[in-house]
Amino acid sequence: MSDGDASWYARQDVRFFGLAGLLFVGCVVPEVDIEGRPCPCPDGYTCDGGTQTCTRSDAVAGTGGFGGGSTATTSTTGAGPCQGLCGSPGCSACPMVPVVDAGGFGIDALEVTRGDYAVFLADAVDPASQVAWCQWNVSFEPLVDDAAGCLSPFDFSKAAFPMSCVDWCDAAAYCAWAGKHLCGRRGGGSSLDEADVNDPAQSEWYAACSAGGTLAFPYGDTVEPSSCNTSGNGADLVGSGWFADCEGGYAGIFDMVGNVEEWEDACDLTGDPAGDNCLLRGGAFWADDSTPDRDFARCSSNFERRPDRSAASHDWGFRCCSGP
* Cβ 26 to Ca ion shortest distance, Å: 18
* Cβ 160 to Ca ion shortest distance, Å: 14
User: Which residue number, 63 or 288, has a Cβ lying nearer to Ca ion?
Assistant: 288
Label residue 247 exposed, middle or buried (CB < 10 Å: 0-12, 13-18, 19+): buried
**If DSSP codes are grouped into helix, strand and coil, which group holds residue 301?**
coil
User: Which residue number, 94 or 125, has a Cβ lying nearer to Ca ion?
Assistant: 125
User: Given candidates 116, 204, 255, 265, which one binds Ca ion under the rule CB under 5 A?
Assistant: 255
The verdict on 164 binding Ca ion (CB under 5 A) reads no
Q: Which stretch binds Ca ion (CB under 5 A): 9-17, 21-29, 54-62, 250-258?
A: 250-258
The verdict on 249 binding Ca ion (CB under 5 A) reads no
* Cβ 284 to Ca ion shortest distance, Å: 7
User: Which residue number, 74 or 137, has a Cβ lying nearer to Ca ion?
Assistant: 137
User: Which residue number, 60 or 181, has a Cβ lying nearer to Ca ion?
Assistant: 181
Q: Which residues of 169-196 are buried (b: 16+ CB within 10 A; e: fewer)?
A: bbbbbbbbbbbbbbbbbbeeeebbeeeb
Q: Which stretch binds Ca ion (CB under 5 A): 20-28, 60-68, 164-172, 204-212?
A: 164-172
Is residue 153 reached through a cis peptide bond, with omega within 30 degrees of 0 on the bond before it?
A: yes
User: Which residue number, 170 or 204, has a Cβ lying nearer to Ca ion?
Assistant: 170
User: Given candidates 116, 123, 170, 276, which one binds Ca ion under the rule CB under 5 A?
Assistant: 170
Restricting to residues 264-303, name those near Ca ion by CB under 5 A.
282
User: Given candidates 43, 108, 116, 167, which one binds Ca ion under the rule CB under 5 A?
Assistant: 167
Task: Kindly report the three-state secondary structure assignment for every residue of 211-258.
Answer: CCCCCCECCECCCCCCCCCCCCCCCCCCCCCCCCCCECCCCCCECCCC
Which residues, listed in sequence order, are joined to residue 281 by a DSSP beta bridge? Answer: 262
Strands (E), the chain: 45-47, 54-56, 99-101, 106-108, 181-182, 261-267, 278-281, 316-317, 320-322
The verdict on 137 binding Ca ion (CB under 5 A) reads yes
Applying CB under 5 A, the residues found at the interface with Ca ion are 137, 139, 167, 170, 255, 259, 282
